[in-house]
């Protein structure tokens, strides 16, 4: 009883010291182990497996699934499909180690609260799989490795649907990109790798880019690659680029274009819907401009190189500021397809090449509604005039059809008036091979070559 009494008296006298000591122990425990518990950098946060790729993460454990921050331990080389599905609602920050080489398809899609994705600054990363981080709707920042052994690839849809993604660092170390990669995000600035060969379709569609430089290594820009970047005002191209596919820069706000001589083809709607585009420079080497390529642009003057072969339907239609068009002599031009310059309401002058390697065909409605067109020089190589080529163009006072003309379709000079003159450098008998309605409702004076 005496011993118990003495213990009781000791506790009553020194309880404050004991309490302070206890708190101190707790504080030290939290200080030492707390970051581990919060950050989740213990191996207990993951289920591992040895695979053909080396040490791999199969999934996040229940312990890791309750944490907002996870750090994958060094030594892990592979993250498997669906590995982070247990962290759908909790994970805010994910840190990946320098040892990581492969992130499998759909490894971490739909992480609802993930905001930050950090790769080690120096990394062995090789591949980020299809849809790996797709639809991480709160993801704001991705820090790719600043240094890798041989660069890395990002596959299709890797970050598609990350609608709040604003900042992407070190993308210039990605040597291969997948389609729809960053589509519909809020990225404002990117730098591309000088080893990149192709910019795939939809890769940067509907972003907030203001300018972009295309490296000289890039040979092809895919469909819709930069379409819908309505803040994009400047694009710098380099020699080496060969093709610009359809809708590549649709609805941008580019003001000037200087396309390298290596570009051979411009796809459908490639630069259409861009009223801010006032100047474009084409160089020798360009062969084909596809339909609607510059539809609705604000270009004021066009000079085509001798290498141009085909300009497809409505390629420059509704360029309402366009005033003059000139084709270089000794041209390879073959055809202008339907409505190429339709509704170019300020167009005043068109000069075709005096001499051309090929016969030139003007398809239907080439200059429909070009109400201010005054001067047209057809050269010596135009052989065919399609339906309604000059329909309703009343501002031309005199036009000469060269001796090269073989076919004239119906309504070519529809509604021409008495104060207009058509000089035809052919005998009247040549019209026997023309459509019978070639001069339908044409009141212009027609002067034939005397035999």
Instruction: Please give the distance of CA 198 from its chain centroid, rounded to a whole number.
Output: 11
- Report pLDDT digits (tens) over 166-219: 999 999 999 999 999 999 999 999 999 999 999 999 999 999 999 999 999 999
Given the structure tokens 């820090």, which residue do they identify?
143
Instruction: Say if residue 30's pLDDT is above 80.
Output: no
Give the pLDDT mean for 150-165: 98
Q: Specify if 207 maps to a domain.
A: no
Quick one: 168 and 88 in the same domain? yes
Range of the domain at 23: 1-39
- Report pLDDT digits (tens) over 116-156: 999 999 999 999 999 999 999 999 999 999 999 999 999 99
Quick one: 46 and 192 in the same domain? yes
Please answer whether residues 272 and 293 qualify as being in contact, where contact means their C-beta atoms are separated by less than 8 angstroms.
Answer: yes
Quick one: 78 and 180 in the same domain? yes
Domain boundary at 147, 166, 196, which?
196
How sure is the predictor about 451, in pLDDT bands with cuts at 50, 70 and 90? confident
Beta strands at 46-51 and 54-60: parallel, antiparallel or unpaired: antiparallel
- CATH number, position 109: 3.80.10.10
Give the pLDDT mean for 262-269: 98
Q: Specify if 75 maps to a domain.
A: yes
Give the pLDDT mean for 382-396: 97
Q: What's the pLDDT score for residue 5?
A: 53
Q: What's the pLDDT score for residue 11?
A: 43
Q: Specify if 339 maps to a domain.
A: no
Q: Specify if 29 maps to a domain.
A: yes
Please answer whether residues 242 and 265 qualify as being in contact, where contact means their C-beta atoms are separated by less than 8 angstroms.
Answer: yes
Q: What's the pLDDT score for residue 242?
A: 98
Quick one: 167 and 30 in the same domain? no
Quick one: 14 and 152 in the same domain? no
Quick one: 179 and 64 in the same domain? yes
Q: What's the pLDDT score for residue 42?
A: 67
Quick one: 10 and 90 in the same domain? no
Quick one: 56 and 81 in the same domain? yes
Quick one: 102 and 124 in the same domain? yes
- Report pLDDT digits (tens) over 217-250: 999 999 999 999 999 999 999 999 999 999 999 9
Q: Specify if 252 maps to a domain.
A: no
Q: Specify if 421 maps to a domain.
A: no
- Report pLDDT digits (tens) over 297-337: 999 999 999 999 999 999 999 999 999 999 999 999 999 99
What is the domain count for the chain?
2
Q: What's the pLDDT score for residue 359?
A: 97
Quick one: 192 and 50 in the same domain? yes
Predicted TM-score (pTM) of the model is 0.87
Quick one: 177 and 53 in the same domain? yes
- Average predicted confidence (pLDDT) for the chain: 92
Q: Specify if 116 maps to a domain.
A: yes
- Tokens at 252, concatenated: 């941008």
Q: Specify if 14 maps to a domain.
A: yes
Domain boundary at 196, 214, 238, which?
196
Quick one: 15 and 85 in the same domain? no
- Report pLDDT digits (tens) over 62-96: 999 999 999 999 999 999 999 999 888 999 999 99
Any idea which of 13-27, 37-51, 89-103 has the lowest mean pLDDT? Answer: 13-27
């Amino acid at each position: 009883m005496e011993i118990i009494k003495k213990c009781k008296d000791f506790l009553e006298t020194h309880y404050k010291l004991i309490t302070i000591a206890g708190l101190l122990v707790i504080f030290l425990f939290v200080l030492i182990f707390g970051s581990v518990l919060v950050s989740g950098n213990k191996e207990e946060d993951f289920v591992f497996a040895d695979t053909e790729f080396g040490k791999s993460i199969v999934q996040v454990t229940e312990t890791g699934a309750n944490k907002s921050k996870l750090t994958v331990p060094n030594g892990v080389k592979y993250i498997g499909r669906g590995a982070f599905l247990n962290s759908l609602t909790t994970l805010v920050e994910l840190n990946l180690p320098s040892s990581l080489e492969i992130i499998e398809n759909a490894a971490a899609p739909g992480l609802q609260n993930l905001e930050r994705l950090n790769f080690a600054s120096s990394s062995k990363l090789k591949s980020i799989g299809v849809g790996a981080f797709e639809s991480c709707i709160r993801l704001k920042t991705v820090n790719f490795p600043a240094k890798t052994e041989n660069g890395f690839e990002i596959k299709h849809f890797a970050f598609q649907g990350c609608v709040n993604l604003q900042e992407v660092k070190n993308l210039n170390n990605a040597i291969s990109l997948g389609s729809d990669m960053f589509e519909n995000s809020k990225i404002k600035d990117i730098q591309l790798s000088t080893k990149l060969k192709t910019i795939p379709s939809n890769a940067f569609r509907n972003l907030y880019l203001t300018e972009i430089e295309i490296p000289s290594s890039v040979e092809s820009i895919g469909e819709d690659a930069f379409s819908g970047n309505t803040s994009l005002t400047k694009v710098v191209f380099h020699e080496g680029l060969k093709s610009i596919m359809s809708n590549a820069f649709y609805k941008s706000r580019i003001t000037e274009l200087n396309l390298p001589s290596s570009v051979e083809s411009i796809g459908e709607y490639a630069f259409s819907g861009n009223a801010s585009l006032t100047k474009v420079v084409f160089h020798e080497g360009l062969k084909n401009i596809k339909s609607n390529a510059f539809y609705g642009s604000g270009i004021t003057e066009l000079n085509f190189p001798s290498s141009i072969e085909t300009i497809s339907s409505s390629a420059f239609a509704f360029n309402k500021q366009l005033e003059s068009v000139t084709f270089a002599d000794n041209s390879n031009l073959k055809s202008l397809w339907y409505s190429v310059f339709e509704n170019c309401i300020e167009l005043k002058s068109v000069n075709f090449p005096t001499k051309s390697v090929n016969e030139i065909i003007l398809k239907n409605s080439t200059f429909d509604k070009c109400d201010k067109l005054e001067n047209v020089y057809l050269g010596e190589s135009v052989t065919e005039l399609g339906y309604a080529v000059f329909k309703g163009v009343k501002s031309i006072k005199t036009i000469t059809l060269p001796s090269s003309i073989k076919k004239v379709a119906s309504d070519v000079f529809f509604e021409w008036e008495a104060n207009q003159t058509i000089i035809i450098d052919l005998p009247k008998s040549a019209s026997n091979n023309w459509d019978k309605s070639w001069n339908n409702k044409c009141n212009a004076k027609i002067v034939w070559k005397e035999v």
